[in-house]
Amino acid sequence: MLKIELNEQEAQPVLSIRTRTPMENLPQTIGEAYGKIMQYMTELGVQPADAPFTAYYNMDMEDLDVEMGFPVNSQLQGKGDIVFREIPAGKYASCMYTGPYSQMEQPYNEMFKWIEDNDYQPTGICYEYYYNAPGEVPESELLTRIVMPVK
């Protein structure tokens, strides 16, 4: 059973890249975006403020609308396809999921049910924050915070 929380969040500045990709190319797309943003942050001499995230704006597995990025502590200049923006302030339902990415349907379903049971509505965007990576730990120990803005 997941521990789902509801929080009021401040606006979060981020550096990110938004693109479209089929599901099968997603790991490569995410890896390239994180690499590019990290390289730029190194050039700027700044550190991420939190774990990297991927935002999903749709669930079309053939044509995912995704945004990959890092939270930052201040307003920064974008560069090329890297943009500075803010994840808006507001109410967010979230949970920490431990386990393989391939089994994330279950926590998503639990969250959608919790949101509905508590009379909120999802806005259609889902954020995943990754606290470790498949190369670092076994799949069963992958830590992902799933965050959904609600109204």
Helix (H, G, I), strand (E, B) or coil at 141: helix
The pLDDT of residue 31: 95
Confidence (pLDDT) at 1: 72
Q: How many domains are there within the chain? A: 1
Q: What is the pLDDT of residue 41?
A: 98
CATH number at residue 17: 3.20.80.10
**Which H/E stretch holds residue 91?**
strand 90-98
What's residue 62's pLDDT? Answer: 96
pLDDT for residue 104: 94
The pLDDT value recorded for residue 134 is 87
Residues of the chain with pLDDT below 50 are none
Give the integer Cα–Cα distance in Å for 91 and 82: 26
Domain extent at residue 62: 5-150
